[in-house]
Amino acid sequence: MPNGDRGTSDTETRFADVALKYISHEYIEAVTDPLVNFDTAWVDAEGLEVADKCNSIPFTFKEEGEPGFDKQAFTPPLGGTAEAGTLFNQSIDGGAFYLQSEWDNAASACLMKPLPLSGAAFSSTAAVAGAPVDFNGSAADPYGAFEPTWTFGDGATGLGASPSHSYATAGEFTVTMTPRDALTGSTASAVSHTITVAAPPSPPPITTSTSTTSTSTSTASTAPSTPPPSPSSAFAARVGTFSPRTGAITLTESVANPGTFRWLAAFQNGKFGAFASASRCKAGRIRLAGKCRLAKIVFAKGSKTVVGAGKVSFTLKPSPSAVKALKNALRKGRGVPVSITLTFQSSLGGSPVTRVLSLTVKLKK
């Protein structure tokens, strides 16, 4: 409704509208219904499944407020009228179609897209070259999965609400945070600030005292300071450990210079759901459930700044997709093989060093 099969002949019926409406309707119910024991559907107090709540628009006064009737059920319209049966909200390849909105718990309304984020802002601690700068971002996220992306103005990027970053040199840098909800992919306008990175303080001079027995006088002289270490991005890679409860991976590395670690952990798609089949998908993609999808899924991605030489530990928290894969693997009594690409760049210069670590992460009940 309103563009149903109202015609008297096949040429007057609107099969596409009906097909689109019910594909949308039944698809979201199939995704959200639990199918656990005898509970085969999530329903509200009126006995409606999620798509039933936005099933039709009210045509009469009596229908307004009744279960399943909502004025927002097919908004926003692009043209046509309900009275004439020509109303449409989708324009596909020059054709006009009608697609049902779906219920959004966060908005308590029928919507065609996620609610936007608002009130984005961020702050940072004092910035000194060679030392980590802590950033703290915030935004009003209706879905509670705030995970912004960052550019720090020197070519580096970051992810998460509270990243840290170290600048190799002093100067002014424009930092940009783009608000993003990790659950829906909804974003908001980016926020940018220019921060001033100060030069590190000069070390105090080292003085020595010399004396002669003939004059018993003392003179002070400045001794040369200890030369800084040579630029080196080498690090001792060790196989990480993981938490059998959460799946989080902890890595411990040793470095000779201050600098920044960056990591990208990924796992193969299709291991614990649909299985890959022979296909002609492009490089980097495999065929799953009839579609070409990414061959690898991000397990964790991030960075950590190291202030000085020595050992450093950091934790890779699994992404929502990784958590789902870990739970699927747990039900099969297996683990998820994870490949970690770990790169370290010394803040003193030189070329970065990259190593690849592998381990299988397995949850316990």
According to the CATH classification, is domain 235-361 in 2.60.40? yes
Buried b (16+ CB within 10 A) or exposed e, 73-82: bbeeeeebee
Residue 299 is encoded by which pair of tokens?
């397990």
Quote the pLDDT of residue 214: 47
> How many helices and strands (H and E) does the chain possess?
2, 23
Which residues are within 8 A (CB) of 144 and not within 5 positions of it... i.e. 6 or more apart? 183
Q: Is the peptide bond before 205 cis (omega within 30 degrees of 0)?
A: no
Quote the pLDDT of residue 236: 73
Contact 84, 96 (CB under 8 A): no
Identical fold, 118-197 and 235-361: yes
> What 3-state class would DSSP assign to 273?
coil
The mean-pLDDT minimum among 123-127, 206-210, 271-275, 348-352 falls in 271-275
Taking alpha carbons only, the member of 243, 256, 233 closest to residue 355 is: 233
Quote the pLDDT of residue 166: 92
Buried b (16+ CB within 10 A) or exposed e, 320-340: eebeebbeebbeeeebbebeb
* Residue 64's pLDDT band (cuts 50, 70, 90): confident
- What are the pLDDT digits (tens) for 164-201? 999 999 999 999 999 999 988 889 999 999 999 998 88
Mean pLDDT of 250-272: 85
Burial of 173 (0-12, 13-18, 19+ CB in 10 A): buried
Question: How many Cβ atoms are within 10 Å of 55's Cβ, its own excluded?
Answer: 19
Quote the pLDDT of residue 228: 64
> What 3-state class would DSSP assign to 73?
coil
Higher pLDDT, 13 or 294: 294
The CATH T-level fold of domain 118-197 is Immunoglobulin-like (2.60.40)
Give percent above pLDDT 90 in the chain: 27
Quote the pLDDT of residue 148: 94
Return the domain boundaries, the chain. 10-111, 118-197, 235-361
Higher pLDDT, 10 or 142: 142
Taking alpha carbons only, the member of 119, 169, 109 closest to residue 146 is: 119
Quote the pLDDT of residue 207: 62
Percent composition of the chain: helix, strand, coil (DSSP 3-state, to 5): 10, 40, 50
| DSSP E strand boundaries for 289-348 | 291-294, 296-306, 310-316, 336-346
Contact 115, 104 (CB under 8 A): yes
* Residue 209's pLDDT band (cuts 50, 70, 90): low
144: alpha, beta or left? (left if phi > 0; alpha if psi -120 to 50): left
Q: At residue 53, what are phi and psi to the nearest 5 degrees?
A: -70, -20
* Residue 313's pLDDT band (cuts 50, 70, 90): confident
pTM for this predicted structure: 0.48
Contact 167, 197 (CB under 8 A): yes
Quote the pLDDT of residue 11: 64
Quote the pLDDT of residue 252: 87
Tell whether the model's pLDDT for residue 21 goes beyond 90.
Answer: no
Tell whether the model's pLDDT for residue 44 goes beyond 90.
Answer: no
Mean pLDDT of 59-73: 80
Tell whether the model's pLDDT for residue 157 goes beyond 90.
Answer: yes
* Residue 217's pLDDT band (cuts 50, 70, 90): very low
Tell whether the model's pLDDT for residue 350 goes beyond 90.
Answer: no
